Structure 1
């Protein structure tokens, strides 16, 4: 294995672990289980792009949550740059939540 190959699966797991420490202030479930994270891209330069949404466009944490995601993911040593992009396409719905989140919120 050459030294310039990164283990994206391992890095992905680290990123997910960090994402699971970030909570939506109105719902007692982390943003990953809520389905707010649509995609995580990592390139060979250790740059990360996170595509995420918010529960609503006028979410009270619309300004702070993406910053928190960026700051916390940036704390992973091997990463160079982290960019968080917010999208509302597709809009978030309860369907995107994991079984665990639905159970936690009494929706199952």
Structure 2
């Protein structure tokens, strides 16, 4: 079933306690420091992070995509994520669920991300 979820999109969010919600917010904040090196913008503002939740009280589950399924930077983004997320108090493990549906497009970029891209000379 996990293979199927990776290709069909983000599964339904499980019930989250208040502590889980707060920890997921901390994970999301940490993900602002994970930068796509090809574009120079963080993965949250690029719209690559689709959802984050906590399982079993201490495992961060990050549902994200890439700008392209053939992106050569998967290992680098995974390494950055591991370094930042595993440093958070309360996180004992993490998992990235690579999601390909819906496919990423510029419509997912946040307004802050668009401002950053314009500052770098991109037309968005």
Shorter chain as denominator, the TM-score bin is 0.7 to 0.9
Aligned match of 1:15 in 27, 48, 69?
Answer: 27
Q: Does 1:39 align with 2:39?
A: no
Unaligned runs of 5+ in 1: none
Which runs of structure 2 are paired with 1:53-68 in the superposition (5 Å)?
53-68=65-80
The number of residue pairs the alignment matches comes to: 104
Which is worse superposed, 72-81 or 5-14? 5-14
Which is worse superposed, 13-22 or 67-76? 67-76
RMSD: 1.7
Unaligned runs of 5+ in 2: 1-16
**TM-score normalised according to structure 2 size:** 0.74
Aligned match of 1:52 in 59, 64, 77?
Answer: 64
Runs (4 or more) in structure 1 with deviation over 3 Å come to: none
Between Structure 1 and Structure 2, the one with more helix by share is: 2
Displacement of 1:6: 5.3
**TM-score normalised according to structure 1 size:** 0.84
